[in-house]
Amino acid sequence: EDQVTQSPEALRLQEGESSSLNCSYTVSGLRGLFWYRQDPGKGPEFLFTLYSAGEEKEKERLKATLTKKESFLHITAPKPEDSATYLCASSKLDAGNKLTFGGGTRVLVKP
Partner 1 sequence: ETGVTQSPTHLIKTRGQQVTLRCSSQSGHNTVSWYQQALGQGPQFIFQYYREEENGRGNFPPRFSGLQFPNYSSELNVNALELDDSALYLCASALPGGDTQYFGPGTRLTVL
Residues forming the site for partner 1 (CB under 8 A): 4, 6, 31-32, 34, 36, 41-46, 49, 87, 89, 91, 95-104
Nearer to partner 1, 76 or 95 (CB): 95
CB of 62 to partner 1, least distance (A): 16
Pairing of strands 10-14, 105-110: parallel
Nearer to partner 1, 79 or 95 (CB): 95
CA distance 13 to 99: 29
The amino acid that residue 64 corresponds to is A
CA distance 94 to 29: 9
CB atoms within 10 A of CB 44: 19
Nearer to partner 1, 35 or 78 (CB): 35
CB of 54 to partner 1, least distance (A): 18
Q: Taking phi first (over 0 means left), then psi (-120 to 50 degrees means alpha), and beta for anything else, what does residue 82 get?
A: alpha
CB of 42 to partner 1, least distance (A): 6
CB of 16 to partner 1, least distance (A): 28
